[in-house]
Structure 1
Amino acid sequence: MGDVNINTNTSSMPAKILLYSTAVVLLTLGMKAISSILIPIFFSFFAFLIFSPLVRWLMKKGVPGKVSVFLVILLFIFVFFGTAVLFANSLIQLSNMIPSYDTQLQSILGTVSTHFPVSGDTLTSVLRSIATFAFRVSGNIVTGALNAGSTVVLIFIVTTFLLLDSAGAPVKVQKEVEDQPVYLSRFTELSKTVINFMLLRTETNLIGGIGVAILFLIGGIDFAVLWGLLFFLFGYIPYLGFYLATIPPMLLGLFKYGPVGALGVLVGVTIINALIENVLFPSIAGRGLKLSTTIVFLSLIYWSYVLGAAGALIAVPLTIVVKIVLESSEDTRLMAKLMESRGTRDQVEEDEGKNGA
Structure 2
Amino acid sequence: MNTSTISTPAKVLIYSTAAVLLTLGMKAISSILMPVFFSIFSYLIFAPLVRWLMRKRVPGKISVFLVILFFIFVFVGTAFLFASSLLQLSGRIPNYENQLTNILNSISIYLPEAGVSVESILRDIATFAFNISGDIISGALNAGSTIALIVITTTFLLLDAAGTQERVKKEAGDQPAHISRFTELSKTVINYMLLRTETNLLGGIGTAILLFIGGIDFAVLWGLLFFLFGYIPYLGFYLAAIPPMLLGLFKYGVIGALGVLVGITIINALVENVIFPSLAGKGLKLSPTIVFLSLFYWSFVLGAAGALIAVPLTIVVKIVLESSEETRLIAKLMESSGTRDQDE
Q: TM range, normalised to the smaller chain?
A: over 0.9
Distance in 1 of aligned mates of 2:141 and 2:228:
17
Q: Which structure would you say has the larger Rg?
A: 1
Distance in 2 of aligned mates of 1:256 and 1:44:
41
Q: CA deviation at 1:144?
A: 4.2
Structure 1 length-normalised TM? 0.91
Contact 2:195 2:280 in 1 (8 A): no
CA 1:94–1:27 in 2, change beyond 3 Å: closer, same or farther? same
Q: CA deviation at 1:13?
A: 1.5
CA 1:51–1:142 in 2, change beyond 3 Å: closer, same or farther? closer
Q: Which residue in 2 is equivalent to 1:295?
A: 290
Contact 1:208 1:232 in 2 (8 A): yes
Distance in 2 of aligned mates of 1:316 and 1:83:
23
Q: Which residue in 1 is equivalent to 2:234?
A: 239
Q: Which residue in 2 is equivalent to 1:180?
A: 175
Which of 39, 43, 60 in structure 1 is aligned with 2:38? 43
Q: Which residue in 2 is equivalent to 1:212?
A: 207
Contact 2:50 2:158 in 1 (8 A): yes
Q: Which residue identity does 2:160 align to in structure 1?
A: D
Q: Which residue identity does 2:48 align to in structure 1?
A: P
**Structure 1: which 5+ residue stretches go unaligned?**
1-7, 350-357
Mapping of residues 1-357 of structure 1, within 5 Å? 12-119=7-114, 122-137=117-132, 139-140=134-135, 143-144=138-139, 147-148=142-143, 150-282=145-277, 287-349=282-344
CA 1:141–1:91 in 2, change beyond 3 Å: closer, same or farther? farther
Contact 2:139 2:305 in 1 (8 A): no
- The percentage of counterpart residues that share the same residue type is 76
CA 1:107–1:296 in 2, change beyond 3 Å: closer, same or farther? same
- The number of residues matched between the two structures is 342
Contact 1:113 1:121 in 2 (8 A): no
Distance in 1 of aligned mates of 2:135 and 2:193:
25
Higher relative contact order (CA 8 A, sep 6+): 2
**Structure 2: which 5+ residue stretches go unaligned?**
none
Q: Deviations over 1:218-271 (max 9, x none)?
A: 001110000000010000000011111111111111101111111111111111
Q: Which residue identity does 2:38 align to in structure 1?
A: F
Q: Deviations over 1:328-357 (max 9, x none)?
A: 1111111111100011111223xxxxxxxx
Contact 1:285 1:341 in 2 (8 A): no
Contact 2:137 2:305 in 1 (8 A): no
Q: CA deviation at 1:149?
A: 5.6
Distance in 2 of aligned mates of 1:30 and 1:273:
36
Q: CA deviation at 1:146?
A: 6.2
Q: CA deviation at 1:140?
A: 3.7
Q: Deviations over 1:31-50 (max 9, x none)?
A: 00000000001110000000
Q: Which residue in 2 is equivalent to 1:354?
A: none
Structure 2 length-normalised TM? 0.95
Q: Which residue in 2 is equivalent to 1:5?
A: none
Distance in 1 of aligned mates of 2:136 and 2:341:
42
CA 1:159–1:267 in 2, change beyond 3 Å: closer, same or farther? same
CA 1:285–1:58 in 2, change beyond 3 Å: closer, same or farther? closer
- 278-287 or 209-218: which moved more? 278-287
Q: CA deviation at 1:136?
A: 3.0
Distance in 2 of aligned mates of 1:133 and 1:93:
21
Distance in 2 of aligned mates of 1:150 and 1:185:
36
What is the CA RMSD across the aligned residues, in angstroms?
1.9
Q: CA deviation at 1:22?
A: 1.1
Distance in 1 of aligned mates of 2:141 and 2:68:
22
